[in-house]
Amino acid sequence: MSEAVAHPAAEAPSGATYLPRDATYGSITRDIAAPVFAPAGWRWWTAFLVTLALTLVMIFAILWLFIEGVGIWGVNADVVWGFAITNYVWWIGIGNAGTLISSMLLLTRQRWRASINRFAEAMTLFAAAIAGLFPILHLGRPYLFYWLVPYPNVMTLWPQWRSPLVWDLFAIASYIIFSLLFWYTGLIPDLASLRDRARTRFGQLVFGAFALGWRGSARQWRRFDAFYWAMAAMAVPLVISLHSVVGLDFAAGLMPGWQETIFPPYFVVGAMFSGFAMVVTLAVPIRWGLRLETFITPAHFDAMAKILLMGSIIMGASYATEWFLAWYAGNVAERLVTQFELSGSYAPLYWLMLLFNVALPQLFWWRRTRRSLSAIFAIAILINVGMWLERLLIILNTLSHAYLPARWSDYAPTVWDWALLLGTLGFFTFLFVCFVRLVPAVSMHEVRQLAHAQAELEDDDAVLA
């Protein structure tokens, strides 16, 4: 190992504690694994039942959609995309962050990621899977979605490779497969720990089977590190390409307000922004529900708040770029859309979005806000709402105010639009509620590595003193 890796904790900002000083390998494993083996309390059962009910709402909303068709939604002949694609872009954005956090922070040796990367990756996986549903649901004939796949068919038809919708399929599919593998790879040493701690034969068998015979030998660790780091290095371009492709779905659409070169990077940053906000939103209840206060500390929230602050500044710059270019390019339709954005049918929502995405996060300039759990939780939720509004308004403003004035019409969602949105939120939480009881929500082996690095650092300090 190189010198740089030997003291990763040294990179932690001064004064920040990501781990209690008295934590031992044993106590770390015991505390994190506890929720998996302990009986579920009332908090878990309440969450389970509520989210299960919402999952049923989602299933019902989808079934009714399949029976009746997209006519049950608020979409019309002009605004053809509505909530479905809004939700798709929003969910896939959230799905971006887990892998981005995990890989980017691993590659930049931010060891504090150890406490949040596991559930951030789980979040990614669930969000990407839910996002993947929406492009299928919004089809007139959802059962023919597989026509996007190139396979030798009796129509001798090949997908239209020039269409971003085809790129979408490949981007989402490869991303979901990758996220699953990345998440699972990081889980293997922990599954082995669970296998060894399981007291029932069933637990031993299940955890043992998924641990793939992990023994924690030096050779296995060397291979694990090589593989995991290589995956992390692949993850970064993959994540960036994924949301760039989502941006291209719009940018290649030749519509005023969409056809902008800024879209791919602007979507990537937006995804990271909303994803980090979702990580914060999830970290607070997980920390409380699983009693992981020792491992997810105010220092973690402080670090995440700084990233949110940076994201909000870039988002603000992106919006400003859009306004500037609409004026500077001098295209009439483009200017009309921007005018409509700022003062048209959806203007209140647009200003609300600017408040949530750009103005409110500026409070993170103050250390007091970054250290206040309730403040950061509230702002993170509002950023989630703001980012959802942003995705909605990208669609509505352009489609309600496109080139032909004859086709200017407003969009209003129906109860089924809301049911599906609420249902998928419930389903997402449901998956999460199940996840925290099945595997450790925090990466045990990485927290142990953090403890190891911290102890080494203290030894060095002692020697120097």
Partner 1 sequence: MPQVFKPKANTLSWLIMAGIVVVPLAVALFGIVYEHSANATRVDLVRDQPVPFSHKHHVGDGGIDCRYCHSSVETSAVAGVPPTETCMTCHSELWTSAAMLAPVRRSLSANAPIRWTRVHDLPDYVYFDHSIHIAKGVGCTTCHGEVETMPLMRKAHTLTMGWCLDCHRAPEKYLRPLDRVFATDWSPPPDQITQGVRLVQAYHIEVDHLADCSVCHR
The CB-of-144 to partner 1 minimum distance in angstroms stands at: 12
Residue 195, Ramachandran bin (φ over 0: left; ψ between -120 and 50: alpha; else beta): alpha
The CB-of-207 to partner 1 minimum distance in angstroms stands at: 9
The Cα–Cα gap between 117 and 105 comes to 9
- 197 makes contact with partner 1 (CB under 8 A): no
Which contacts (CB < 8 Å, 24+ apart) does range 377-380 have?
Answer: 377/280, 377/281, 377/284, 379/308, 380/277, 380/278, 380/280, 380/281, 380/308
- Whichever of 156 and 217 has its CB closer to partner 1, that residue is 156
- Whichever of 101 and 169 has its CB closer to partner 1, that residue is 169
Segment 210 to 229, residues that bind partner 1, using CB under 8 A: 212-213
Query: What's the distance, CA 250 to chain centroid?
Result: 20
- Whichever of 1 and 155 has its CB closer to partner 1, that residue is 155
The CB-of-210 to partner 1 minimum distance in angstroms stands at: 10
The CB-of-152 to partner 1 minimum distance in angstroms stands at: 6
- Whichever of 143 and 151 has its CB closer to partner 1, that residue is 151
Give the interface size with partner 1 as a residue count (CB under 8 A). Answer: 15
Side-chain-facing half-sphere of 325: CA atoms under 13 Å:
14
- 204 makes contact with partner 1 (CB under 8 A): yes
Question: Which stretch, 88-96, 169-177, 206-214, 319-327, contacts partner 1 (CB under 8 A)?
Answer: 206-214
The CB-of-188 to partner 1 minimum distance in angstroms stands at: 13
Q: What is the three-state SS of 325-348?
A: HHHHHCCHHHHHHHHHHHHCCCHH
Question: Which stretch, 3-11, 90-98, 201-209, 224-232, contacts partner 1 (CB under 8 A)?
Answer: 201-209
- Which residue among 143, 151, 161, 202 contacts partner 1 (CB under 8 A)? 151
- 208 makes contact with partner 1 (CB under 8 A): yes
Query: What's the distance, CA 294 to chain centroid?
Result: 24
- 205 makes contact with partner 1 (CB under 8 A): yes
- Which residue among 1, 67, 77, 157 contacts partner 1 (CB under 8 A)? 157
Q: Cβ distance 433 to 441 under 8 Å?
A: no
The Cα–Cα gap between 443 and 182 comes to 13
- Which residue among 77, 155, 332, 462 contacts partner 1 (CB under 8 A)? 155
The Cα–Cα gap between 363 and 377 comes to 13
DSSP secondary structure letter of residue 39: P
- 196 makes contact with partner 1 (CB under 8 A): yes
- Which residue among 154, 404, 463, 465 contacts partner 1 (CB under 8 A)? 154
Place of tokens 């085809």: 166
Q: Cβ distance 77 to 227 under 8 Å?
A: no
- Which residue among 111, 118, 138, 195 contacts partner 1 (CB under 8 A)? 195
- 374 makes contact with partner 1 (CB under 8 A): no
- Which residue among 39, 152, 348, 405 contacts partner 1 (CB under 8 A)? 152
Question: Which stretch, 106-114, 126-134, 202-210, 434-442, contacts partner 1 (CB under 8 A)?
Answer: 202-210
Query: How many residues would you count in the chain?
Result: 465
The CB-of-155 to partner 1 minimum distance in angstroms stands at: 4
- 156 makes contact with partner 1 (CB under 8 A): yes
- Whichever of 40 and 209 has its CB closer to partner 1, that residue is 209
- Which residue among 107, 209, 412, 438 contacts partner 1 (CB under 8 A)? 209
Query: What's the distance, CA 371 to chain centroid?
Result: 23
Place of tokens 């799905």: 95
- Whichever of 41 and 213 has its CB closer to partner 1, that residue is 213
The number of helices, as runs of H, and strands, as runs of E, in the chain is: 16, 0
- 142 makes contact with partner 1 (CB under 8 A): no
- 160 makes contact with partner 1 (CB under 8 A): no
In sign, the C-alpha dihedral spanning 266, 271, 274, 275 is negative
DSSP string, 230-275: HHHHHHHHHHHHHHHHHHHHHHTT--TTT--TTHHHHHHHHHHHHH
- Whichever of 215 and 452 has its CB closer to partner 1, that residue is 215
Report CA Rg, the chain. Answer: 23
Which pair of tokens denotes residue 281?
Answer: 């939103």
Chain residues binding partner 1 by CB under 8 A are 151-157, 195-196, 204-205, 208-209, 212-213
